[in-house]
Structure 1
Amino acid sequence: MATNKEEKSEQPQDQQSEESSNEALETPARPSLDWMNDTLQWGTKVPPGKHGITIGDLQVGVYGDIPEVSTDMTRRPRGAFPIPGIPRTDLYALSAKVDIWADNAADLYEEAIQRRWMAHADVPWDDLAPLPDDVELAMRQLCTELAQQASLETDVIGQWLHRMNYAYYEVKAFLATEIFDTGRHFVAFRQRALANGGKLGLESPGHFNRRLMEARAGWTEVAIYLYIIRGTLTQLVLRYAEAYAQSPAEKYLFRKCLEDKARHVAYGLAHVKYAVENSDPSFGLGLNNLMRAVEGDLSQEMQDPVIWEALAIIFGGGVSNMVEGMEVVKGLQQRFIEQYLARMKWVGIPKTEANLNPGLAVYLRREEATPA
C-alpha cells in the first residue's frame, strides 16, 4: 500500500510546483516595517509661509545641509536615508558645490514658477499692428536670431544639467525652469517672425554659438559665456526692442522675455562670483586669460552687419532713417561692452579695458550713449 508521501512523489512535477507556489501565496511573510525607522531626521516640520512652502523653506536640519563635495552618485534626494550597496546611477562630473552653486538659485526657482506666461495666449497677437515692409523684415530678422539664441541656450544647459550632482538640487531645479523659459522664447520669437504673413530671416553667425556648445572646461566657464557675455547682450537687445516696439504685442513679448532673461543672468552672475570667491586666487586669473580667445570670437561675430542693420531699421523706423537708428545701435554696443567689463569686475575676474580685446574696445565711445 502506497503511503501519502509516495502518492505525492508520483504526482507530475508541474503539479507539485503549482501546489508549492499556492502554499507560498497562502502564507505570506509578516511585514517587518523596519524601513519606517530608517530616517536621518524625524520630526521635521516646515510651516507654510505667505508664499506657501518654498524650497528655500525646506533648507532646515539635515535637509538644509549642503555638502561642499558630494560622493553620492545615485539620484537619492538630499536628506533621504542611504541604502548600502545601491549601484551608482551616474558619475556626476560636477559634484562640488563650487562647481555650480549660487545662493539665489532657490529664490530664482520660486520666481520662475510664479511668473509663468504663455506665448500663444498671453501675448495680445490681435493687437499686432501691420508694419512698413522694411521694418517688418527687420523685426523678422531680429526674432529669427533671438529664436536661434534661445534654442542654443536650451541645448547648452541640457548637456550640462545631467552632469550636476543632486546634492545641489536647488540649482538643477532652477536650470530646469530656464530650459522651459528658453523653449518658450524660441516658440514665441518664431511666432512673431511668422506673424502678419511673415517669414524667418537669416541664420546668425556661429562663432560664439560653437564656443558655447563645445566648451568642456567646466560649468563656470560656460556660465561666463552664456550669462555674462551672451546674456548681457541679449538683455540689452530685449530692453531696446521693447522701448522701440510699435505694438502692444511686441512690447509684451519683449518685456516678458526680458524678465526671464534677467532671472537667468542673475543666477549666472551669482554662480561665477561664488566660484571665484571660493576657489584658489589663481582661478579668477585663469578665467581672465581664457577670455582672450573668447573675446576674439565675439569680436568677429559682432562685425556681422545683419543684426545691427536690422536693429538700426527698427530703431530708426525704416531704412530711410537708418543713420539715426545706427546711432542708437552704437549706444547699445557701447553699453554692452561697459556692462561686460563691470560684471566681470563684480564677479572677481580682473577684466579691464586695458586687457580687453582691441576688436571689442573699439565699441567704447566716450560720448554719452543714446538712452533706451
Structure 2
Amino acid sequence: MTSPKNAPENSQPNSEEEGIAGAEAPEETPAEDAPAEDTPAPRNLEWMEQTLEWGTRALPGKHGLTMQNINVGIYGEVPERSTVMNRMPRGAYPVPGSPRLELYAVNEKAELWSDNAADLYEEAIQRRWMVHVDVPWDTITPLPEDVELAMCQLCTELSQQAAIEIDVLGQWLHRMNNIYTEVKTFLASELFDAARDFDVFRRRALINGGALGLESPGQINRRLLESRAGWTETALLLYILRGTFTLLLCRYGEAYAHNPAEKYMFRRCMEDKARHIAYGMSHLKYACDEKGEDYALGLSRVMRGSEGDLAREMKDPVLWEAMAIVFGGGVRHMTEGMETVKVLQKQYIEQYLARMRWIGVDKNIENMAPELAAFLGVEETTPAGG
C-alpha cells in the first residue's frame, strides 16, 4: 500500500519524544467549583404529590376492566356543568395558568348525557366486525338485472345515510366538553360504525355487476347537517327521525336477503344502528326529564318542519320502487312488493311516534304534520294542533 504523499517514513513518535511532549504539557487540575461526577443533578419532584386522589385501585369485572369499573372515587363524578375548557382527562390534576384550548358549546350534562353510554361503548368495541373478511362476499352470485339494480339503489341510500351520520357526528364531537368522557368515547365508536356501514354498502353495490344508484332527495340530510339549536335537537333528528328509518331498512334488507353475504351485512348494520338509537333514546329522555315539559313541548313543535320535509321526501318514488322490486323478486311482481312497502312506511311512522312518546314528547296524529299522517291512512285534512 502506498504511503500518503509527504508523509514521513516512520510517523510514530519514539519514547523520548513522548516524554518531551508529556513534560511540556500543563498539568490539568479540576476546577474547584465543578461538581463531582458521582453527584446527581438536582431534581424537582413536586409533580409526584400533585394528584387529586392517589391510591385508586379499579377492579376488573366479569367482562374485564371496563369503563364503568374505573369510574371510582372522583374519577366517576360527572358534574352537572363544566367550565373546564381544555382536553385533560376527567380527574387529572389541573395546572395553574394553563391556557384555554377550546370554547365548548355543550357544557351541561343535560345536553348530552346518557346513563348507558359507557356500556354501549363497551358493546361497540366487543362486537366490532371487519367488512373485508367477515362478510362472506364469495356467497354472492349473479341476480336478475332488475333485482340487482334495485339492491344497488337500496345500498346507495343506506351508504348515503351513513355518510351524513359521519359528518353530523364530526360536527358535534369537538363541541362537547371533554369532561363527559363516556358520551364522547361512545360517539367516537358510533362514528367508526357509520364509516364501516358506509363502506359495506358501497362494496355490495359494486361487487355483482351493478353500480351505485341515484342520490336521495336529501331534505332530511340537509336538516341534519344544518341543525344548530343544540345536540339534543340534532339527536332527535339523527336517532328518532332518521335512525328509525335506517333500522327498518336494514331489518327488511335482512329479511329479503338473496345470499349469506347480504344477510350478514344487514344484520350487523342493524345491530350497530340499534346501539346508536339506544344512546339517542336514553339521552333524549334524560334531557326531557331534566329540562321539563316546556322543553319537551318545544321539541314537539320544532319537529313539524322536519316532518313536512320527510313527507315530501317519502313521496319520491325511487327508493320505494327499488324496495318493491326487492320485496317482490322483480319488476313483474312490483305490485305485490309495493304492498310490503306500504307496511314498512306505516311501521316507520308508528315507530317514530312511539319513540317520541317514550322520551317524553307528546307527539301524535293530531299534532304531527298532516302530510306525514297520511302514511298512516289518515287524511291530510286532519286538524293539526300544537
Alignment TM-score > 0.5, same fold: yes
Segments ≥4 residues shifted beyond 3 Å: 25-29
- Superposed, 1:140-289 pairs within 5 Å as 140-289=152-301
Residue in 1 aligned with 2:376?
364
Once residues 152 and 26 of structure 1 are traced to their aligned partners in structure 2, the CA distance between those partners, rounded to angstroms, is: 64
Residue 34, structure 1, aligned to residue 77, structure 2: no
Residue in 2 aligned with 1:355?
367
Once residues 293 and 329 of structure 2 are traced to their aligned partners in structure 1, the CA distance between those partners, rounded to angstroms, is: 49
Residue in 2 aligned with 1:52?
64
| Residue type of the alignment partner of 1:92 | Y
Once residues 209 and 38 of structure 2 are traced to their aligned partners in structure 1, the CA distance between those partners, rounded to angstroms, is: 71
C-alpha displacement at 1:350, in angstroms?
Answer: 1.0
- Map Cα deviations across residues 91-132 of structure 1 (whole Å, 9 max, x no partner): 110010011100000000000000000111100000012111
Once residues 213 and 46 of structure 2 are traced to their aligned partners in structure 1, the CA distance between those partners, rounded to angstroms, is: 64
Aligned to 2:214, the other structure's residue is in SS state: coil
Once residues 77 and 185 of structure 1 are traced to their aligned partners in structure 2, the CA distance between those partners, rounded to angstroms, is: 30
Instruction: Work out which of the residue numbers 90, 96, 106 in structure 2 matches 1:94.
Output: 106
Structure 1 unpaired stretches of 5+: 1-21, 367-372
C-alpha displacement at 1:29, in angstroms?
Answer: 4.9
| Residue type of the alignment partner of 1:330 | K
| Residue type of the alignment partner of 1:156 | V
Residue in 1 aligned with 2:342?
330
Aligned to 1:68, the other structure's residue is in SS state: coil
Instruction: Work out which of the residue numbers 132, 138, 148 in structure 2 matches 1:136.
Output: 148
| TM-score normalised by L of structure 2 | 0.87
Identity of aligned residues (%): 62
| TM-score normalised by L of structure 1 | 0.90
Question: Structure 1 or 2: larger helix share?
Answer: 1
Instruction: Work out which of the residue numbers 114, 117, 121 in structure 2 matches 1:109.
Output: 121
Aligned residues: 345
| Residue type of the alignment partner of 2:100 | R
Task: Choose 207-216 or 45-54, whichever is displaced more.
Answer: 45-54
C-alpha displacement at 1:304, in angstroms?
Answer: 0.5
| Residue type of the alignment partner of 1:325 | G
Once residues 371 and 232 of structure 2 are traced to their aligned partners in structure 1, the CA distance between those partners, rounded to angstroms, is: 24
Instruction: Work out which of the residue numbers 63, 66, 70 in structure 1 matches 2:75.
Output: 63
| Residue type of the alignment partner of 1:357 | A
Q: 2:86, 2:102 within 8 Å by CA — same for their partners in 1?
A: yes
| Residue type of the alignment partner of 1:251 | K
Structure 2 unpaired stretches of 5+: 1-33, 379-386
| Residue type of the alignment partner of 2:333 | N
Once residues 236 and 288 of structure 2 are traced to their aligned partners in structure 1, the CA distance between those partners, rounded to angstroms, is: 12
Q: Give me the CA root mean square deviation.
A: 1.6
- Superposed, 1:286-305 pairs within 5 Å as 286-305=298-317
Task: Choose 307-316 or 39-48, whichever is displaced more.
Answer: 39-48
Once residues 30 and 229 of structure 1 are traced to their aligned partners in structure 2, the CA distance between those partners, rounded to angstroms, is: 63
- Map Cα deviations across residues 146-170 of structure 1 (whole Å, 9 max, x no partner): 1011011000000000000111010
Which has more radius of gyration?
A: 2
Once residues 234 and 241 of structure 1 are traced to their aligned partners in structure 2, the CA distance between those partners, rounded to angstroms, is: 10
